[in-house]
Amino acid sequence: MGQLSVIFERRQFQRALMHVAGFVLIFLAADWLREIVVRSNPVLQGYLQITTGIFAFVFAAVALVRFQGTQDRISLILGSGFMLSGATLVASSVLFFQLSHENQNWVLWAPVAWWISRLLLALLFATALVVEHFLPRSRHPKLEIAGGLSAVIAATYLITASLRRLPPDASHYPQAFIPNPLQLLPALIFLLALFGYRRRKYLQDSAFDKAIYLAVWLNLAAQLAACQSVKLLDGPFVFAQSMNVMSYAILLGGALFDSAKTFEQVRHLATSDPLTGLANYRKLLDVLDTETERTLRTGRPFAVLLLDLDGLKKVNDTYGHLVGSRALCRVADILRFHCRAIDTAARYGGDEFALILPEAQEDEAERVAARIRETLAADQEHPPLSASIGASVYHGEGERVERLLKVADQNLYAEKARRKEITGSSESSRRRLKKS
């Protein structure tokens, strides 16, 4: 145990060193970019702002939808904040488009506007962690969405009002080692948020949380690059802005991937049995409809096996319901093992199962049923299990699928009756032998 702890701590230390090395490289790259003359292109910056704003809007929509389903407050706060951020970015892009026209004085205030937006984003990430720590789940999603939007708007106004007297210059110390130290304040907040999201990433282990962590990392790196910026739209500024756009794109991609995975899980839960993991009755009916249409279209039959677990009530009464549930799962595992990729195994009822075998005739269905009986008989797990199986084949030709299930059910109960007769005659023989 102690050795595992040492290995884990060593890996953690190595990861921390890699992060620090990455930040140092980005800082040095931005310092090198100070020496490169980059022609200012306000129109390009405007397009970057619009693109980032669109990413923010779409991410906000996905995050708020995620919040409705999970009540995860991180999704609420980030969704609300990014909705406002998207509006701010799209509106500020007008500033850059106007720079090439008559309003040249606006360029002086562009660094301040960019710095405020970065500070707001850092506070948003940090606030989301603090609120989630004290209030992890929501009880009134719609009210909290409205409250979150109002709070972000109010915070934006207050911060903007308190910073309205900041000097508009991009840097007062163009020759210093860090010419724009004001950018380190958002960097500090991003650094604190990075530690919190790193812990959350390992606890939640979802694409959404991993994307947030990576986005915070890139925003911290962007601030380290921005602190080397001497004037608007110089090399370090463009470098920082490119990482900012990349962080928004990663956030959006992670949120979309997480939503797709969640919807797939919901779809699977809606069509699967929660105990055995097999298809449920609704999915069984859908597959029967599909196979019926295929048979009517192609003329190729399909078979259905109905399986009833013998003596489940006795197992429950003797060994308990946990063992009974385990017995159902054992049968499900055997059905799953003997399924082809095109077959469908489903839980038909309480102790009844169904197996749909596309393009199978009577002899193939009987072979599958025999293999299932043999596997159940060879199972060494206690208590021993057996099952009665009835087979039926659908040939089309105007038949109704209800008749298919009825015939399979009749065959199942005919086999169950034969089993009882055999068991009864064996019991009578044993009793006669004891009396003699």
So where are the chain's domains?
Answer: 17-271, 281-435
Sheet containing 302-309, strands listed edge to edge, beginning at the edge strand earlier in sequence: 344-347, 352-358, 302-309, 387-394
Helices (H), 34-72: 42-70
- Structure confidence at residue 433 (pLDDT): 47
Supply the DSSP string of 370-409, one letter for each residue.
Answer: HHHHHHHHH--SSSP--EEEEEEEE--TT--HHHHHHHHH
Q: What is the mean pLDDT of each run of 10 residues along the chain (436 residues)?
A: 62 78 84 73 71 83 79 78 75 60 52 72 82 68 65 62 50 69 85 85 77 90 86 78 87 86 77 83 87 86 87 83 86 83 84 88 86 85 84 80 82 80 55 52
- Structure confidence at residue 80 (pLDDT): 77
- Structure confidence at residue 415 (pLDDT): 81
- Structure confidence at residue 31 (pLDDT): 80
Kindly state the DSSP code that residue 344 receives in the 8-state scheme: E
Q: In the numeric block, which tokens belong to residue 394? A: 């659908």
Q: Write phi, then psi, for 357 (nearest 5 degrees).
A: -120, 95
Which contacts of 41-45 are long-range, i.e. CB under 8 A and separated by 24 or more positions?
A: 41/233, 42/96, 42/97, 42/99, 42/100, 42/107, 42/233, 43/96, 43/97, 43/100, 45/93, 45/96, 45/233, 45/241
What is this structure's pTM?
Answer: 0.68
Collapsed DSSP state (helix, strand, coil) of residue 121: helix
Does domain 281-435 match CATH 3.30.70.270?
Answer: yes
Q: Which CATH architecture has domain 17-271?
A: Up-down Bundle (1.20)
Do 281-435 and 17-271 have the same topology in CATH?
no
CA distance 120 to 190: 11
